[in-house]
C-alpha cells in the first residue's frame, strides 16, 4: 500500500502506470475524457460516506486500486486479506471478493491525498469520519497487475 499526497507525484516517476494515473487525476479539469485503456481505467464517483456497519472489505486479485480524493474526507480501513473472513467468493469477471473482519490500519484521506492498494490489501472504503461528514468526490483508478 502507498499513502501520499499528489504534491509528491514526482516520487512515482519510475512507476510508469502509477505516475501516469496520478498525473491524469491531478491534471483533470473536467473538460476531457479520463483514461480508459486496456490495463488502466479511472472513474470519478460522488457519494455520501457510510457508517461502519454498512461497509465491508473488498479485495482484488488482478487490479491495483488508486483512490484519489477531490473533495470531502474519507475513512478507509485496510487489512491483509489472508486474516479476514470471506463473505462472498471471488468474482473473476469483476475482480472482487467481499470480506469481513477487523482493520489493521485506518487511513483518513483529504483532498489531494491518495491511497494505492495492491492485490491482497483488502480495503473498506467510504467510511464516515464524523456525523458532519458530507459528500465525497474522488477518482478510483484500476491498473491491471504491475
Q: Find, among 60, 61, 70, 48, the residue nearest to 128 by Cα.
A: 48
Whole-structure pTM value: 0.92
Q: What are the extents of the domains in the chain? A: 2-144
Phi-psi group of 26: left, alpha or beta (phi > 0 → left; psi -120 to 50 → alpha; rest → beta): alpha
Instruction: Tell me the per-residue pLDDT of 94-137, one tens digit each, with 9 for 90 and over.
Output: 999 999 999 999 999 999 999 999 999 999 999 999 888 789 99
Distances (CA, A) of 104 to 6, 21, 121, 132: 24, 27, 10, 25
Instruction: Tell me the per-residue pLDDT of 1-15, one tens digit each, with 9 for 90 and over.
Output: 999 999 999 999 999
CATH number at 2-144: 2.60.120.370
Amino acid at each position: 500500500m502507498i499513502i501520499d499526497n499528489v504534491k509528491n507525484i514526482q516520487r512515482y516517476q519510475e512507476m510508469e502506470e502509477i505516475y501516469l494515473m496520478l498525473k491524469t487525476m491531478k491534471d483533470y479539469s473536467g473538460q476531457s475524457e479520463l483514461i480508459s485503456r486496456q490495463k488502466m481505467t479511472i472513474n470519478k464517483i460522488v457519494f455520501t460516506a457510510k457508517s461502519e456497519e454498512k461497509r465491508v472489505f473488498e479485495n482484488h486479485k488482478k487490479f491495483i486500486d488508486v483512490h484519489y480524493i477531490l473533495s470531502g474526507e474519507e475513512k478507509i480501513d485496510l487489512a491483509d486479506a489472508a486474516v479476514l473472513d470471506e463473505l462472498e467468493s471471488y468474482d473473476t469477471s469483476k475482480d472482487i471478493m467481499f470480506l469481513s473482519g477487523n482493520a489493521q490500519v485506518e487511513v483518513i484521506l483529504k483532498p489531494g491525498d491518495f491511497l494505492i492498494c495492491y492485490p491482497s490489501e483488502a480495503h473498506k472504503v467510504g467510511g464516515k469520519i464524523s456525523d458532519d461528514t458530507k459528500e465525497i468526490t474522488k477518482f478510483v483508478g484500476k491498473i491491471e497487475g504491475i
